[in-house]
C-alpha cells in the first residue's frame, strides 16, 4: 500500500475528527482538540496533502515549535493528532502500523515549572466581595466566586453543581460525590462563608432543586435552568477586570490551593480537594519547591547606594 493510499478523503477526515471530539467528555477539551485538528487540516492542505505519516507529523511538530508556541500547546496539538490517527486506524482508513509510528512522535519536553497566577488573601477577599449581593445577579455572582475560591472546584464543575451535591457530613457542609476530570469522584469540604453565599443566592432566586447556578436575561431575571462553564469564566473575568486583577477562572483554583497551603493545610488534603491523581501533581501545581517569599535573592546582602 502506498503512502498516498493511506490518506482519507476530506469527508472522511471530518467524520474521524467528529469521532475524536465525541470521545471527549470535557467541553474545554473538545474546543481545544477541535481547534488543533482544524489547524492541522489547514496546514496539511497547504502542504499539498503529503500523506499521513510519521514524517509528516514530525514536520508539523517542527513547524509548531519554530512558530514560537509553548511546549504545552505543541504537545496538546500532537495529542489531538495521535487521537485522530487512532480513530482512523480503528475505522480502517489508516494502516495500524502507520498510526503506531505517528503515535511514537514525541512531544516537546518542558523544563522547570510554570507557576501561573493566583491571588493573595486581600485580593481574593476583594474579588469575592466585588458583586453587589442586593441584586439577583450580584447574589449569584458572589456565590460563584465564593465557591470557586472557597473549594477550588473547576468552572465546569461549578456549572454542574446541583442542590443534591450540598450536604452535611461529620458536622460540616461539603460538596458530596462531585464527578470531576477523568470521572474521578471526590467530596470537597466547604467553608461556612461559601455556604452562606449560596444560601443567600438561592433564597433570593427562589430555587431549591436542580442546578444551583442559573443564567440571566437582561433586567436581572433568571432565563435558564443552568449555566455553561464559559458563563462561569465570564463572571470571573467581569469582576477581576473591574478590580484590575490579572486572574482568570482557573486561577481561582490555584488561589484556593495557595491560600490553603499558606494557612498550614496538609498537602495531601489539598490534593484530595483538587482531585489531583498524585501528590506530585499538586506539588507542581503549587510550585512548593520554590519559595517566592523568602527567596535566595533576599539573602544576597546587597543594596543600591
State the Cα–Cα distance between residues 69 and 52, nearest whole angstrom: 23
Q: Is residue 238 part of a domain?
A: yes
Q: Is residue 116 part of a domain?
A: no
- The pLDDT value recorded for residue 216 is 87
Same-domain status, 143 and 198: yes
Task: Report the CATH number at residue 251.
Answer: 1.10.443.10
Same-domain status, 91 and 194: no
State the Cα–Cα distance between residues 110 and 70, nearest whole angstrom: 9
Task: Report the CATH number at residue 78.
Answer: 1.10.150.130
- The pLDDT value recorded for residue 142 is 95
- The pLDDT value recorded for residue 33 is 82
Same-domain status, 128 and 233: yes
Same-domain status, 282 and 174: yes
- The pLDDT value recorded for residue 279 is 76
- The pLDDT value recorded for residue 8 is 55
Task: Give Cα separations from 33 to 13, 98, 157 (angstroms).
Answer: 14, 21, 20
Domain final residue, candidates 75, 103, 131:
103
State the Cα–Cα distance between residues 205 and 197, nearest whole angstrom: 12
Element (H, E) at 254: helix 249-262
- The pLDDT value recorded for residue 3 is 39
Q: Is residue 277 part of a domain?
A: yes
Burial 124-135 (b: 16+ CB within 10 A, else e): bebbbebbebee
- The pLDDT value recorded for residue 1 is 36
Q: Which range of residues forms the domain containing residue 93?
A: 4-103
Same-domain status, 226 and 98: no
To the question of pTM greater than 0.85 for the whole model, the response is no
Burial class (CB within 10 angstroms; exposed 0-12, middle 13-18, buried 19+) of 222: middle
Enter the DSSP assignment of 66.
Answer: H
| 3 state DSSP class of 119 | coil
Per-residue pLDDT tens digits of the chain, which is 305 residues long: 333 334 556 666 677 777 777 766 666 677 888 888 888 888 988 888 887 888 999 999 999 888 877 787 888 889 888 888 888 788 777 788 888 899 898 888 765 545 568 888 899 999 999 999 999 999 999 999 999 999 999 999 999 999 999 999 888 889 999 888 778 888 888 899 999 999 999 999 999 999 999 998 776 788 888 999 999 999 999 999 898 888 888 889 888 888 888 888 888 888 888 888 787 777 776 765 555 555 555 555 655 55
For residue 134, what is its C-alpha cell? 442586593
Amino acid at each position: 500500500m502506498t503512502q498516498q493510499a493511506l490518506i482519507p478523503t476530506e469527508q472522511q477526515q471530518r467524520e474521524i475528527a467528529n469521532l475524536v471530539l465525541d470521545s471527549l467528555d470535557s467541553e474545554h477539551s473538545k474546543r481545544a482538540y477541535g481547534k488543533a485538528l482544524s489547524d492541522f487540516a489547514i496546514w496539511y492542505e497547504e502542504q499539498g496533502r503529503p500523506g499521513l505519516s510519521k514524517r509528516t507529523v514530525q514536520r508539523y511538530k517542527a513547524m509548531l515549535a519554530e512558530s514560537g508556541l509553548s511546549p504545552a500547546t505543541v504537545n496538546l496539538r500532537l495529542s489531538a493528532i495521535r487521537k485522530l490517527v487512532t480513530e482512523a486506524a480503528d475505522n480502517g482508513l489508516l494502516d495500524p502500523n502507520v498510526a503506531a509510528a505517528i503515535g511514537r512522535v514525541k512531544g516537546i519536553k518542558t523544563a522547570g515549572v510554570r507557576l501561573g497566577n493566583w491571588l493573595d488573601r486581600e485580593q481574593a477577599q476583594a474579588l469575592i466581595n466585588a458583586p453587589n449581593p442586593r441584586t439577583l445577579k450580584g447574589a449569584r455572582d458572589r456565590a460563584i466566586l465564593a465557591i470557586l475560591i472557597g473549594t477550588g472546584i473547576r468552572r465546569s464543575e461549578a456549572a454542574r453543581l446541583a442542590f443534591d451535591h450540598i450536604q452535611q457530613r461529620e458536622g460540616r457542609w461539603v460538596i458530596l460525590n462531585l464527578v470531576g476530570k477523568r470521572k474521578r469522584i471526590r467530596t470537597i469540604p466547604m467553608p461556612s462563608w461559601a455556604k452562606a453565599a449560596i444560601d443567600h443566592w438561592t433564597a433570593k432566586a427562589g430555587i431549591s432543586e436542580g442546578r444551583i447556578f442559573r443564567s440571566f436575561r437582561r433586567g436581572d431575571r433568571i432565563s435558564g435552568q443552568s449555566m455553561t462553564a464559559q458563563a462561569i469564566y465570564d463572571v470571573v473575568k467581569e469582576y477581576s477586570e473591574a478590580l484590575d486583577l490579572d486572574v482568570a477562572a482557573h486561577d481561582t483554583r490555584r488561589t484556593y490551593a495557595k491560600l490553603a497551603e499558606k494557612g498550614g493545610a496538609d498537602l495531601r488534603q489539598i490534593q484530595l480537594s483538587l482531585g489531583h491523581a498524585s501528590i506530585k501533581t499538586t506539588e507542581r501545581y503549587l510550585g512548593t519547591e520554590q519559595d517566592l517569599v523568602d527567596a535566595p535573592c533576599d539573602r544576597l546582602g546587597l543594596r543600591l547606594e
